[in-house]
Amino acid sequence: VSKDPDADVDYFFAQVSVEDTRVDYSPTCGNILVGVGPAAIEMGLVQARDGVTPVRIRAVNTGALVEADVQTPGGAVTYDGETAVDGVPGTAAPVSLNFLKVVGSRCGAMFPTGQPREEIDGVAVSLVDVAMPMMIARASDLGITGHETQAELDKMPELFARMEPMRLEAGRRMG
């Protein structure tokens, strides 16, 4: 249960590094976040409605407020469905996540540097803080189409070698 009057429950995420002895508490994980609403209903923290039950979740890591729309026909969580998510095996009932009050949640502004567009390593980028700080670039500016599969991307170490210094610079600029 959340102490925030705008939320039903709190969600706290920790990511354990597989490369060193570090736990990162700053991000959230959308795939795990999808399970918070159904869990809150199953545990009796939120009363299910017939049809769809909204569950308001406060992401403790970022302070973001997220409303999850959970499928609850007959007042019970349903897990069976045809919705597929990349990187997650199988299909399930859809859970819509509506991110509320997330602009500037980590850096204090939608554009932490004050610029909607800038350049890093000769590539036009937008540095944006909406639920999570991110660097957005055109796939074509990085020599890809944006339609590559994970397997294809895994065979492009030069792409990741190019992006890593850009990512670090974006993080430096956004604080």
The two three-digit tokens of residue 59, written as one number: 């992401």
Q: CA–CA separation, 82 vs 90, rounded Å? A: 9
Nearest alpha-carbon partner for 57 in 108, 110, 121, 8: 8
Dihedral sign computed on CA atoms, order 42, 80, 29, 96? negative
Q: Which two tokens stand for residue 115?
A: 């610029």
State residue 92's pLDDT score: 94
Q: pLDDT digit string (tens) for 73-89?
A: 999 999 999 999 877 89
User: How is residue 42 annotated by DSSP?
Assistant: H
User: Which residues of the chain register pLDDT less than 50?
Assistant: none
